[in-house]
Each structure stands twice: as C-alpha cells, then as structure tokens.
C-alpha cells in the first residue's frame, strides 16, 4: 500500500493560452501529475470552472488545492479513488463544485487515479476498469474508434469563419486503432487537398487543430468530406452544438431561422445524402422535444447528448426517461471527479447508449482520457485533429495501449 505524501498545485497554460491548474501528487511510488482542460462551448449544468475575479486567473483554485484539499488527503491511500473523491465533494459541499472549483478537484482526482494504478502495479486503464467493477481482463479490453476533427466552426473557430455548426469529424472503422489512425491521416490529406482547392492554401486552423475556412454553409463541407472518404471504411460525425445558435425559440443557421421541425427536416436530409454516423447536440440543451423527435425519426443514427447530459447522473436519467438520445459525450471536467465520471458511463451503458469520451477545446498535454476510454470500454473517443501536440498525445497513448494489449493476448 502507498500513501499520499504531498499534493501541490500550480498554474500552466492550456492550448488556448489560458491559465489552468496542474497538480502533482507524491507517494512512495513516485510523482503523479494531472492537469485540467477547459471548454469553450459549455453546457449550463457543467461543474463550475473557478476563475479569479478577473475572469481569467486560477490562483483561487490553486490556493484551494494547496490550503484546503491537500491537508485532508495527505496520508490517504490513493487506491481508494471513490473514498477520496467523495471526501473532496464533501469539502466543496455544493451541487456544482462552485466553492472549490471543478478545476481544483479534477486534477487531484486524476492524479490520485494515476497514483492508485502505480500502487497496484497495473496500467491506468486497468485500474479505471477495476474502479468501475467492469471485471475486464487484459484480453477483453477494446479500443475506441477515433473521431478525428477535420473542420470546425462555432465557438471553436471564433473570428475565423461564420459557420454555426461546431465540429465535422471523420470516424474510421477498421479493426485496429493503428489502422484507423493511418486511414484517418489518409482521408485528412485528401480533405486538405479539397480545402486548398476551394479556399486557398492559407486557411486558418481551429482551436482543436482542424481547418476553419471562411464559410457559413454546411452542405459543401459534407460534400468535401464525402469525397475525401470515398469508398473507405469511415463515416462522418457532427457536433452541432445547437445551444450556440438557438435564440428565442428559433435556430439561426446559415442566415435563416429554423423552427424545431424545420431543423429536424434539415438533419434528415443530410442523413439521407451523406454517410453520417452520429449527431451530437442537434438541438438546444433545453429542447428535449427536439431530441426525442429526432431520435424517433432517425433510428439508425446515434443521437448524442453533450450539453444535454453534461456527464451528470441526474441529466442522464432524465434523457433516458424522455428517450432523448442513445449516445453520450463523456467529459471529466463536466462533472469534476473520476469516480463520478465512471458512474455516469456505467449508467449510460446500462441504457444501451454509445459512449464517446471527449477532450475539450482548451487542452493540455495530459493524456488521461486515452486510458479512460479504454478502461470504461468506450465506443468512441474524440480528441481533435491529429495536427496539434495536445491532441496527438491522446491518440499516441492509445497506440501504446493497443501495443501493450496485443503483447498480452
């Protein structure tokens, strides 16, 4: 057994250049580090990211780690993930972690998880699986299908284009993660040729390493994606982030106002003409009826909740009771601890939903979500384009895991 000797937090910068919190935990097995990402397009029910009075800094969150949380965790066994997460939740005492900040609590929770795995002398993904009681042995772990971000609009491409829809992803569907990474790269190069042909060679890149050309139209992008994919074993995934273009009961898309029914017909038309596997947040997070009607209308498409569900047990239960979706985005910082994230996954899986583990637009070099995706048996993972280091480290870690699993079969 190992015990926590030291916990120290400090400031680092995320991929958008904003301050965020990194935590180091020291045990007899060494030093374990984790950092907190930050979202741009966020659901109103997400756990609170605590910022200083200037709205930018994280010194208050860092102080909360070093002065409030750390003294309570020293001497504890990092193998007891749920117990330590619950201790931090109790210390905070609010429904959305607004006292101490999810950005203070989460990196501690992640670092504890790493320390716990080291204490048990097992890989992080296996430790995560054991925390959730999935009872997976090495030979039974599966690799998630990657959702590579090819083009972005919305909050992820602010000032670069006027496209309302947020993410246009390609999901290769070959047998191994390595094959999917290779195929994704090949399709990306073909798509890049189409981008240069249509928009020139100096197209800006988005927050997540995707193209952000000057466009406001969805259909031409989908045609370019369809052309780049060709006969390959791959499909398209959309993140609409519709809460961002919803206003006073109407959806404003491509300069036109859409009612709920009109937007539903718009999506149905796209599904008919393009190889779209999944649609994420197709309606506003308050438009439960829109989700329910689209799920009925498109039984062969994965309807994914993100802002709708926010990795939150209560929201997931509500979504299931209303038959609003059959897939979910899982983001650690939406809820704020590893244990609660695992509980959210298990509940969604009990409903038969598809699981997509996700990064955030403001990322760090932390690759925790790669192990999380394997440990919980996720169907998909999205971590942006394979163009930026903070995105690539997640995919590269998945390659390492696949190699490790193949050696132990």
**Rounded CA separation 24/54 (Å):** 26
In degrees and rounded to multiples of 5, residue 214 shows phi and psi of -75, 90
Domain assignment present for 130: no
Q: What is the CATH number of the domain that holds 78?
A: 3.30.390.10
Is 278 annotated to bind a ligand? Reply is: no
- In the listed set 65, 95, 121, which residue is the last one of a domain according to the structure? 121
Domain assignment present for 126: no
Is 260 annotated to bind a ligand? Reply is: no
pLDDT in tens, 169-218: 999 999 999 999 999 999 999 999 999 999 999 999 988 889 999 988 99
Residues 181 and 70 placed together within one structural domain of the fold = no
The reported pLDDT for the residue numbered 269 is 98
H/E stretch holding 15:
none
Domain assignment present for 67: yes
Residues whose CB is less than 8 angstroms from the CB of residue 316 and which lie 6 or more positions away in sequence, other chains included: 305, 309, 328, 344, 347, 348, 351
Is 382 annotated to bind a ligand? Reply is: yes
Domain assignment present for 132: no
Domain assignment present for 327: yes
**Rounded CA separation 389/369 (Å):** 15
**Domain enclosing residue 256, as ranges:** 138-407
pTM for this structure? 0.96
The reported pLDDT for the residue numbered 368 is 98
Contact (CB, 8 A) for 373 and 144:
yes
Q: What is the CATH number of the domain that holds 333?
A: 3.20.20.120
Which residue in 402, 357, 360 sits closest to 378, CA to CA? 357
Residues 66 and 162 placed together within one structural domain of the fold = no
Domain assignment present for 235: yes
Residues 188 and 78 placed together within one structural domain of the fold = no
Which residue in 221, 170, 216, 165 sits closest to 41, CA to CA? 165
Q: Per the structure block, which two tokens stand in for 308? A: 């709708």
Residues 75 and 181 placed together within one structural domain of the fold = no
What is the average pLDDT across 222-240?
A: 97
Domain assignment present for 81: yes
Residues 72 and 215 placed together within one structural domain of the fold = no
- In the listed set 121, 155, 177, which residue is the last one of a domain according to the structure? 121
Q: Per the structure block, which two tokens stand in for 295? A: 């799920």
The reported pLDDT for the residue numbered 395 is 97
Residues 89 and 157 placed together within one structural domain of the fold = no
Residues 215 and 312 placed together within one structural domain of the fold = yes
Residues 202 and 244 placed together within one structural domain of the fold = yes
Catalytic residues: 208, 331
Residues 112 and 145 placed together within one structural domain of the fold = no
The reported pLDDT for the residue numbered 157 is 77
Neighbours of 133 (CB within 10 A): 9
The reported pLDDT for the residue numbered 138 is 55
DSSP 175: S
The reported pLDDT for the residue numbered 139 is 61
Q: For the chain, what is the domain count?
A: 2
CA angle 83, 85, 88 (to 5 degrees): 110
Residues 117 and 146 placed together within one structural domain of the fold = no
pLDDT in tens, 29-87: 999 999 999 987 677 889 999 999 999 999 999 999 999 999 999 999 999 999 999 99
Is 361 annotated to bind a ligand? Reply is: yes
Residues whose CB is less than 8 angstroms from the CB of residue 39 and which lie 6 or more positions away in sequence, other chains included: 46, 49, 331, 333, 334, 360, 361, 362
What is the average pLDDT across 296-301?
A: 96
Is 156 annotated to bind a ligand? Reply is: yes
Residue percentage of the chain with pLDDT more than 90: 90
Residues 63 and 207 placed together within one structural domain of the fold = no
- In the listed set 68, 87, 121, which residue is the last one of a domain according to the structure? 121
The reported pLDDT for the residue numbered 151 is 95
Is 269 annotated to bind a ligand? Reply is: yes
Residues 281 and 155 placed together within one structural domain of the fold = yes
**Rounded CA separation 405/400 (Å):** 9
Domain assignment present for 128: no
Beta bridge partners of residue 151, listed in sequence order: 168, 211
Is 331 annotated to bind a ligand? Reply is: yes
């Amino acid at each position: 057994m190992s015990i926590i000797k030291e916990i120290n937090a400090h400031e680092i910068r995320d991929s958008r250049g904003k301050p965020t919190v990194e935590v180091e935990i020291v045990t007899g097995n060494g030093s374990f580090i984790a950092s907190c990402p930050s979202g741009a397009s966020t659901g109103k029910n997400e756990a609170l990211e605590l910022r200083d009075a200037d709205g930018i800094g994280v010194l208050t969150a860092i102080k909360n780690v070093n002065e409030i949380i750390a003294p309570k965790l020293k001497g504890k066994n990092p193998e007891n993930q749920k117990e330590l997460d619950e201790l931090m939740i109790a210390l905070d005492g609010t429904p959305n972690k607004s006292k101490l900040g999810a950005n203070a609590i989460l990196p501690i929770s992640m670092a504890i998880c790493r320390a716990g795995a080291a204490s048990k002398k097992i890989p992080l993904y296996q430790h995560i699986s054991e925390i959730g009681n999935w009872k997976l042995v090495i030979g039974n772990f599966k690799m998630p299908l990657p959702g590579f971000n090819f083009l972005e609009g919305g909050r992820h491409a602010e000032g670069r284009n006027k496209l309302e829809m947020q993410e246009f992803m390609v999901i290769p569907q070959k047998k191994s993660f390595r094959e999917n990474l290779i195929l994704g790269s090949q399709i990306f190069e073909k798509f890049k040729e189409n981008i240069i042909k249509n928009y020139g060679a100096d197209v800006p890149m988005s927050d997540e390493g995707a193209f952000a050309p000057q466009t406001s139209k969805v259909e031409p992008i989908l045609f370019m994606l369809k052309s780049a994919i060709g006969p390959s074993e791959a499909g398209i995934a959309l993140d609409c982030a519709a809460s961002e273009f919803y206003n006073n009961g109407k959806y404003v898309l491509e300069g036109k106002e859409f009612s709920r029914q009109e937007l539903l017909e718009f999506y149905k038309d796209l599904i008919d003409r393009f190889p779209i596997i999944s649609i994420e947040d197709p309606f506003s997070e308050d438009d439960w009826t829109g989700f329910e009607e689209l799920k009925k209308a498109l039984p062969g498409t994965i309807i994914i909740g993100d802002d709708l569900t926010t990795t939150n047990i209560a929201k997931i239960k509500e979504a299931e009771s209303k038959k609003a979706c059959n897939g979910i985005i899982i983001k650690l910082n939406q809820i704020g601890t590893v244990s609660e994230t695992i509980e959210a996954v298990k509940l969604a899986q009990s409903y038969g939903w598809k699981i997509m583990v996700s990064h955030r637009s403001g990322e760090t070099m932390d690759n925790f979500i790669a192990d999380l995706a394997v440990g919980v048996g996720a169907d998909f993972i999205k971590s942006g384009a394979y163009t930026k280091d903070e995105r690539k480290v997640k995919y590269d870690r998945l390659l390492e895991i696949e190699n490790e699993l193949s050696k132990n079969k």
